[in-house]
Each structure stands twice: as C-alpha cells, then as structure tokens.
Homo-oligomer: A and B are copies of this chain.
Amino acid sequence: MKTISSKDNAEIKNLIKIYQNRKARNESNLFIVEGYNMVEEAFKAHVLKHVYTLKEEKGYKNQSIIARELMDKICDSVTPQGIIGLCEKPNMTHVGNRILYLDRIQDPGNLGTLIRSARAFNFDTIILNNTVDLYNPKTLRSSEGNLFYISFIERSIEELKKDGYFIFGTSMNGKVLEDVTDCPKKIVLILGNEGTGVSHNLLQESDVNLTISMNNNTESLNVGVAGSIIMHHLAFNCK
C-alpha cells in the first residue's frame, strides 16, 4: 500500500484543489467526501475511486495512507475523521414524479438540508438552477449522504410543463399551503434564493404559488425549513 508523507506530493496538491475549488471539481469531474459514513455511501453508489486514510483500513481496493498533517491540509472539518474518499461525479438520468427545482440557492448548508429532506419526503429528483455547487464540502456534509439517492438532472420548467408536470412555486402571497389537500401525481416544487426568493419569471410560469401560514409579524423562513415543510405537507397531508 502506498504511503504519502510529503505536502509537495502532486496527488495531495490535486486533492486540495478538488476539495477547495469548484472549477477544479468541474474540470476533473471529481469530488471528495469525508468520514466513514460518506465514504461508505459513495462506495454503495459506485462512485468511490480511491480512499486516503491515516492507517490501513480493511475493505478498500484503492487505498493510500497519508500523514495526519496532510489530511488536515486537505479538509477543513473541525473534527476530521481519518478517512476521505476521492469520487467520480455520477451521471444521472432518472426523472421521478416529484421534482425539486432550486433557483439560485447560495448557502451550501441550505442545499444539503434540502437534499436530506427531499429524500425523507420522496422527492427523488432535483434540478439545480445556478445554485452553490452540489459537491461543495459543506453541501456534502449537511446532505448526510442522501445526495447519492437523488437524481440530479437538467431540465427547464417549460419542458417539465410539456411533460405534464404540475408546477408549484413559492411566494409570500400565494395559496395557503394548509388549504392544499390534493396533489397531482407529477409535480415540481420551485424554491428560490435566500435573499430574493423565486425569480419573477418562474413564479409566472407556475400553476400555483404556495405560501406557508405564519405569524403576521414574520417576514420569512429559512429556505431549507420552508422547502421541507412544503415537501412534508405534499407527501403526508395530501392525497
């Protein structure tokens, strides 16, 4: 088994770039996951190419051992576990009946949280429209490995409408969510940017825009929370 101990090693330098830099991830088609749970999920999803560990770990074919200081140089988690995995971005084509369309979500924690909730509430397909990178380390961490069970595709709202999807937008003055009791079979839920919400054009293309009931003095909810409340309602409070 290979052991790497120099911080000038080209492989280590490359890992740091892939970890830190979206452009490097796009060009190489690679990304990095941290910790045993994520490495295990990447393995099950057939995207794991190589693992880097502090000591020998059973069960991985392609494995290198690296020094603790190099591990710390690659990842910025506060309490990094002794394993990272280099992965190849998966190619996904499945298009499910419940699609989450994320319009310019910028916070990696919010994106990760929405991926986690999407899986819990049976939205198995996500479209990312100018969002933060799916493979950003913070996104991966807050998704808790659920991204490997979601199909990420590219598709316009126009195409989805042609394919028979019913489009729910979200706005501050739409139809009250709690009054929605029926849900079409094929739906798209659009969530918008943290500061500005769903873009005007998309709101106009929607069939119905939804609003979550809240205290009159409150302006808005965190987008991860709002999206999760709506997905939960459509999954379990509707027919």
Contacts and interface: CB of A to CB of B under 8 A. Distances in A.
B228 A221 contact: yes
Given A113-B224, A224-B224, A229-B229, A120 B214 contact: yes
A67 interface: no
Contact of A149 (B121, B178, B217): B217
A113 B225 contact: yes
Interface in A192-239: 212-215, 217-222, 224-225, 228-229, 232, 235-237
A73 to B, nearest CB: 21
Q: How large is the interface on A (under 10, 10 to 19, 20 to 34, 35 or more residues)?
A: 20 to 34
28 contacts: A109-B109, A113-B222, A113-B225, A116-B218, A116-B222, A117-B221, A117-B222, A119-B215, A119-B217, A120-B214, A120-B215, A120-B221, A121-B215, A122-B215, A144-B219, A144-B220, A149-B217, A178-B236, A178-B237, A212-B232, A213-B232, A213-B236, A221-B228, A222-B224, A228-B228, A229-B229, A229-B232, A237-B237
Interface in A140-160: 142, 144, 146, 149
Contacts of A235: 213
Interface of A: 109, 113, 116-117, 119-122, 142, 144, 146, 149, 178, 212-215, 217-222, 224-225, 228-229, 232, 235-237
A44 to B, nearest CB: 12
A121 B177 CA distance: 14
Contacts of A236: 178, 213
Contacts of A225: 113, 116-117, 224-225, 228
A143 to B, nearest CB: 10
A146 B218 contact: yes
Contacts of A109: 109
A114 to B, nearest CB: 9
A220 B212 CA distance: 23
Given A178-B237, A212-B232, A224-B225, 7 more contacts: A113-B222, A119-B217, A122-B215, A144-B220, A146-B218, A213-B235, A213-B236
